[in-house]
Amino acid sequence: MSQSFEPVVIGFTCNWCSYRAADTAGTARVKYAPNVRLIRLMCSGRLDPTFVIKALAGGADGVMITGCHPGDCHYIDQNYKALRRFLLLRRTLKGLGIDPGRIKLIWASAAEGMRLAAEINQFVEEIRILGPLGWPRWDKEVTQNENIKEVA
Amino acid sequence: MNGKPKFAMYWASSCGGCEIAVLNIHEKILDVDAAFEVVFWPVMMDAKYKDVESMEDGSIFLTLFNGSMRNNENEEIARLLRRKSKVMVSFGSCATEGCIPGLANLFPAQEIIDTAFNTESTDKQNEFLPEPNCDVPEGKISIPMLNTRIKTLEQIVDVDYYMPGCPPESHQIADVIDLIIKVINGKADLPPKGSVIGAGPSTICDECPRERNIKLITAFHRIQEVAPLDPTICILEQGVPCNGPATRSGCNARCPRVGAQCIGCYGPAEGVIDYGARLITSFASVIDSKEPEKIEEIIDGIPDPTGQFYRFNLAGSLLRTGASNWQKNGH
């Protein structure tokens, strides 16, 4: 099991720094783990904790949140908002029995392609050690009731 | 038998507060009696499940179903009443989102049984565990079996309308009853299926008379640990965790008006996918710090974030349970 386990990691990136860092890594042909699926947001401050919870409930083993370095936010200070949400969310998830190590906040500037790639690789390895999260797919659960409409 | 439309109300896993809220509509209860034939309402009258089974499918016009799905009896009656009812209302927080019983989903079901029957508070531990099936001189008897987790009504059957609240406010119940009576008399149409009825679309903050000054806070306090709150200023901005920003309007901000924080019994506001996540967002907005260590220190003031953010909503949230619940059940 552990040998064939490939972590599914969702990575949220911000348009101005971390997405461009990933772009820089790509342009420079820097390899990073293909386990991460990057989703671009305009800002880490756009990150609704719902996105993270939905990812975990939908089969992700870990979620990476990335943004501009403190003080560098394109929208002045929204990355601090992301930081506060992240810290609150991590505690809440811990109370639900989800290892706090399954979500991670990483700051990366547009120039830090190498660093972001290294951080991604490291996070994927950390999730590999934690193993699959395996949250039941409640949204796919079919009840025996004949009246219920199946939700895709 | 008369020609009046039939009415039923049932309690699954609940406290009985919803029934009291219905009776609390005062003289309007006479309108219910005038407009409906009450065929099944265990708290009010004697009726047997087999009476309901013998009714024609779809013959009950309106069923108000309160309570969450804790055991197989709850589920069985939910299916039965769904089959017999034209309009099925998920009534109150338990049926709609799991409510307080839903917090049991943070633990494996076996742990709940152990706590109830096998702790210091129990005389003769282990001697009185409930037997699902039992032989007595009169024959075989059985009791309902606990589900591994609390489910909401809509996780079991198709629901027509949702009515939030713990319990729903009586004036809202009265309005809904008035509407249904109008529908019966052909003077109004039923709202679109899946609507939330007896509540507003917005948040408690919208109804709250307190002033919000976008003030930031440096500490969270439990309400009993601080001096009486300023009655004119937002409770959250005074450092007391208030769930109003994510909670659906409809109660007229009843708690904040009398100096208590909103605990979120009206459930998620319109458009909120995960109630706890939305609250995390709003709490994060008032914390006045940019330093991780300081932020951690401030949120230490919320001793149980999971309980704070999912107090009423766990069973209806995206994750639905704590991890230990499904891990122990070998899901």
Q: What is the number of CB-based contacts under 8 A between chain A and chain B?
A: 108
Residue A1 has pLDDT above 80, yes or no: no
The CATH number of domain A9-140, selected from 3.30.420, 1.10.10, 3.40.50, 3.30.2010: 3.40.50
CB neighbour burial string for A27-53, b if at least 16 within 10 angstroms, e if fewer: eeeeebbebbebeebebbbbbbbbbbb
The residues spanned by each domain of chain B are: 6-101+149-184, 107-147, 204-300
Which residues in chain A have their CB less than 8 angstroms from residue B309's CB?
A: 92
- Both structure tokens of B260: 């208590």
Residue ranges of B 79-118 with Cβ closer than 8 A to chain A:
79, 82-83, 106
pLDDT score for A148: 37
CB contact under 8 A, A145 and B79: yes
- Both structure tokens of B43: 């708290």
Which residues in chain B have their CB less than 8 angstroms from residue A141's CB?
A: 155
Q: Report how far apart, in Å, the C-alpha atoms of A51 and of each of A83, B79, B170, B280 are.
A: 15, 33, 36, 12
Top CATH class of B6-101+149-184 equals: alpha beta
Rounded Cα gap, residues A24 and B204, in angstroms: 45
Averaged pLDDT, A110-114: 96
CB contact under 8 A, A83 and B323: no
Residue A150 has pLDDT above 70, yes or no: no
CB contact under 8 A, A138 and B320: yes
- Other Cβ atoms within 10 Å of B56 Cβ, number: 8
Q: Which of B106, B154, B290 to mutate to test the interface with A (most CBs of A within 10 A)?
A: B290
pLDDT tens for A66-85 read: 999 999 999 999 999 999 99
Q: Please tell me which of the candidates A49, A91, A135 has its beta carbon nearest to residue B281.
A: A49
Which residues in chain A have their CB less than 8 angstroms from residue B319's CB?
A: 53, 56-57, 96, 135
pLDDT score for B2: 63
CB contact under 8 A, A143 and B290: no
Report whether A30 contacts A112 (CB < 8 A): no
Averaged pLDDT, A122-151: 76
Per-residue pLDDT of chain B (331 residues; tens, 9 = 90+): 468 999 999 999 999 999 999 999 999 999 999 999 999 999 999 999 999 999 999 999 999 999 999 999 999 999 999 999 999 999 999 999 999 999 999 999 889 888 888 887 777 777 777 888 989 999 999 999 999 999 999 999 999 999 999 999 999 999 999 999 999 999 999 999 999 999 999 999 999 999 998 889 999 999 999 889 999 999 999 999 999 999 999 999 999 999 999 999 999 999 999 999 999 999 999 999 999 999 999 999 999 999 999 999 999 999 999 999 999 875 5
Confidence of residue A3 (pLDDT cuts 50, 70, 90): low
Residues 6+ apart with CB under 8 A from A111: A21, A24
Q: Please tell me which of the candidates B278, B285, B322 has its beta carbon nearest to residue A97.
A: B322
- From the number of C-beta atoms within 10 Å of its C-beta (0-12, 13-18, 19+), residue B172 rates as buried
pLDDT score for B123: 75
Nearest CA in chain A to B274: A50
ipTM above 0.95, yes or no: no
Residue B151's H or E segment, with its range, is strand B146-151
- Both structure tokens of B242: 């208030």
pLDDT score for B127: 75
pLDDT score for B331: 52
pLDDT tens for A17-45 read: 999 999 999 999 999 999 999 999 999 99
List Cβ<8 Å contacts ≥24 apart for B183-188.
B184/B5, B184/B35, B184/B61
Report whether B36 contacts B7 (CB < 8 A): yes
Q: Please tell me which of the candidates A56, A84, A138 has its beta carbon nearest to residue B284.
A: A84
Residue A146 has pLDDT above 50, yes or no: no
Residue ranges of B 263-322 with Cβ closer than 8 A to chain A:
273-274, 276-278, 280-281, 283-285, 287, 289-290, 292, 295-296, 299, 304-307, 309-310, 317-322
Report whether B310 contacts B275 (CB < 8 A): yes
- Both structure tokens of B93: 């927080």
Judged by a CB distance cut-off of 8 A, whether residue B218 touches chain A is no
Which residues in chain B have their CB less than 8 angstroms from residue A52's CB?
A: 277
